[in-house]
């Protein structure tokens, strides 16, 4: 495989390079994330940095433009993101978030892109990513927009055993735990505060929300299950699985665009 020297990150590109990519119908894949606490051991930018790293890896195999990223998401919930009570979390109300995504899509269409992907990492954004895509599609029916609200690969029983040999806590409780900690360990271990990694779990786990926030649905650390089993090797394997998933979607939806590197 020949490595390309063409920048793939939107914010590293010049306007002529962006215009050329749009003119060639190269898909632009937008990491949609959040600025949210991820325990005492991971950065608050986890939900947009990690998908950007994964998509940069995917760009080694398929011709895509990565970004521009959306760094703010819908408000954190205790049972899936720890909740709004943590310092550092900066959230948007649903209407603001949807307007931001709609404006980003509209601007990319104005720049000439006709193939767009919303690649959402932040659990709470689910349900609010499709609406702006639908509105933009109504105005620009010649544009194809793919919405990936859940970017996770298929965690088969074999994969679960590999990642969580003790027990799989469920994806909602995987906030700041094995998946994200392992990915950081693989991609940028210097930003993991390894000495602060410790097991934690909520006092209550329910399938509904409670307001005012019931702190028992979250944890004192902000990690909703134990990050202790995380490792750089798991992060490498997870990266392969995430890249495989997005490449499959790209091939299925844009087989006539881009191409193999």
Q: What is the DSSP string of 16-59?
A: HHHHHHHHTT--EEEEE--B--BTTTB-TTHHHHHHHHHHHHHT
* Domain annotation covers residue 9: no
**pLDDT-based confidence at 255, cuts 50/70/90?**
confident
* pLDDT tens track for 117-129: 999 999 999 999 9
pLDDT at 256: 62
Rounded to an integer, what is the distance from CA 162 to the centroid of its chain?
22
Asked if the model's pLDDT at residue 2 lies above 50, the reply is no
* Domain annotation covers residue 52: yes
Q: What is the DSSP string of 135-154?
A: HHHHH-TTSEEEEES-----
> Which residue bears the tokens 């620009």?
140
Q: Helices 232-253 & 46-58, crossing angle to 10 degrees?
A: 60
* pLDDT tens track for 137-173: 999 999 999 999 999 999 999 999 999 999 999 999 9
Q: Which two tokens stand for residue 85?
A: 């009570």
CA torsion 107→66→146→57, rounded to 10°? 180
* Domain annotation covers residue 7: no
Mean per-residue pLDDT of the chain: 94
How many structural domains is the chain composed of? Answer: 1
* Domain annotation covers residue 169: yes
* pLDDT tens track for 14-44: 999 999 999 999 999 999 999 999 999 999 9
Q: Cα separation of 149 and 160, whole Å?
A: 21
Beta bridge partners of 30: 118
* Domain annotation covers residue 138: yes
pLDDT at 28: 98
Radius of gyration of the chain (CA): 18
Residues annotated as catalytic are 36, 38, 47, 122, 124, 175, 180
* pLDDT tens track for 77-105: 999 999 999 999 999 999 999 999 999 99
Closest CA to 92 of 110, 104, 106, 74: 74
Residues 6+ apart with CB under 8 A from 157: none
* pLDDT tens track for 205-218: 999 999 998 999 99
Asked if the model's pLDDT at residue 69 lies above 60, the reply is yes
CATH number at residue 33: 3.40.50.10310
Please give the residue range of the domain that contains residue 169.
19-252
**pLDDT-based confidence at 1, cuts 50/70/90?**
very low
* Domain annotation covers residue 14: no
Q: Which two tokens stand for residue 131?
A: 């609406």
């Amino acid at each position: 495989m020949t490595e390309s020297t063409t920048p793939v990150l939107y914010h590293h590109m010049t306007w002529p390079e962006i215009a050329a990519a749009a003119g060639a119908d190269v898909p632009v894949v937008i990491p949609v994330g959040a600025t949210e606490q991820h325990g005492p051991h991971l950065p608050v930018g986890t939900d947009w940095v990690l998908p950007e790293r994964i998509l940069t890896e995917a760009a080694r195999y398929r011709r895509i433009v990565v970004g521009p990223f959306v760094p703010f998401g819908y408000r954190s919930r205790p049972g899936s993101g720890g909740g709004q009570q943590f310092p550092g979390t900066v959230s948007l109300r649903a209407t603001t978030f949807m307007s931001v995504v709609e404006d980003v899509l509209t601007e990319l269409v104005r720049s000439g892109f006709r193939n767009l992907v919303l690649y959402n990492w932040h659990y709470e954004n689910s349900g609010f990513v499709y609406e702006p895509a639908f509105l933009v599609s109504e105005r620009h029916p010649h544009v194809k927009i793919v919405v990936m609200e859940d970017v996770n690969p298929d965690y088969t029983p074999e994969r679960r055993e590999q990642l969580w040999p003790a027990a799989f806590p469920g994806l909602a409780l995987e906030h700041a735990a094995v998946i994200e900690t392992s990915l950081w360990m693989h991609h940028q271990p210097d930003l993991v505060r390894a000495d602060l990694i410790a097991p934690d779990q909520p006092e209550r786990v329910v399938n509904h929300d409670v307001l005012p926030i019931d702190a028992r649905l979250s944890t004192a650390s902000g990690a909703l299950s134990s990050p202790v089993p995380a490792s750089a090797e798991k992060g490498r394997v997870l990266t392969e699985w995430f890249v495989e998933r997005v490449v499959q979607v790209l091939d299925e939806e844009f087989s006539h665009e881009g191409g193999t590197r």
